Amino acid sequence: MKDLSDNKKFLENKEVLYLEDIKKIIPHRYPFLMIDRIEEFRSGKSCVACKNVSNNEWFFQGHFPNYPVMPGVLIIEAMAQAAGVLAFRTLIEEGVCEAGGSDFVYFTSIENARFKTPIVPGDVLRILISVEQRSGHKFWRFNGKVFVKETLADEADFKAMIPEKR
């Protein structure tokens, strides 16, 4: 059995996870880290992540120069990263994996994606992720919703898998 004392210390009293905490769980780094914090977490069930959309984001230089809009694929990526934190933190708590941000989650499908409202500089995204189904620690199905203020801006269902370490 693994010594989980370091993982338990990392997770103690962590109601909110900030950027440095997130980097201990998933391997993404600037400029591709798309979430700033996790505000709520229910192990194995759901989480709420936030992304502060700044005018200085790298993708706004070309998408679109006179009317900056966050690309839909990056909104989906933000949902996926929040789901990755949810899955890995759950697995860390269960003793299946360790904190360190070296494990990966791979998309296997994206379905029912809907982009209802353009995301622009100054928006604060509240990303709600819920686990719809789970098969062991390897296969996960999620639903993601992105809100700006009280408005549902985007949503998608997606599946992911956590491969065995090589």
Delimit the domains of the chain by residue range: 5-161
Task: Give the start-end residues of each E strand in 26-138.
Answer: 37-42, 46-52, 106-115, 124-135
Calculate the CA 127 to chain-centre distance. Answer: 8
Q: What percent of the chain has pLDDT over 70?
A: 89
Q: 132 or 102, which is more confident?
A: 132
The topology under which CATH files domain 5-161 is: Thiol Ester Dehydrase; Chain A (3.10.129)
The DSSP secondary-structure symbol of 26 reads: S
Q: What is the pLDDT of residues 70-128, one digit of tens each?
A: 999 999 999 999 999 999 999 999 988 877 766 788 899 999 999 999 999 999 999 99
User: What is the pLDDT of the chain when averaged over all its residues?
Assistant: 90
Distances (CA, A) of 82 to 51, 64, 70, 131: 10, 26, 17, 11
Is 148 a residue whose pLDDT tops 80? yes
Per-residue pLDDT, 3? 46
Name which of 32, 30, 35, 29 is nearest 47 in CA terms. 35
Q: Is the dihedral of CA 45, 114, 63, 148 positive or negative?
A: negative
Is 159 a residue whose pLDDT tops 90? yes
63 catalytic residue (yes or no): yes
Identified catalytic residue from 63, 134, 145, 159: 63
Predicted TM-score of the model (pTM): 0.91
Q: What percent of the chain has pLDDT over 90?
A: 73
Q: Which of 14-28, 48-62, 74-88 has the lowest mean pLDDT?
A: 14-28
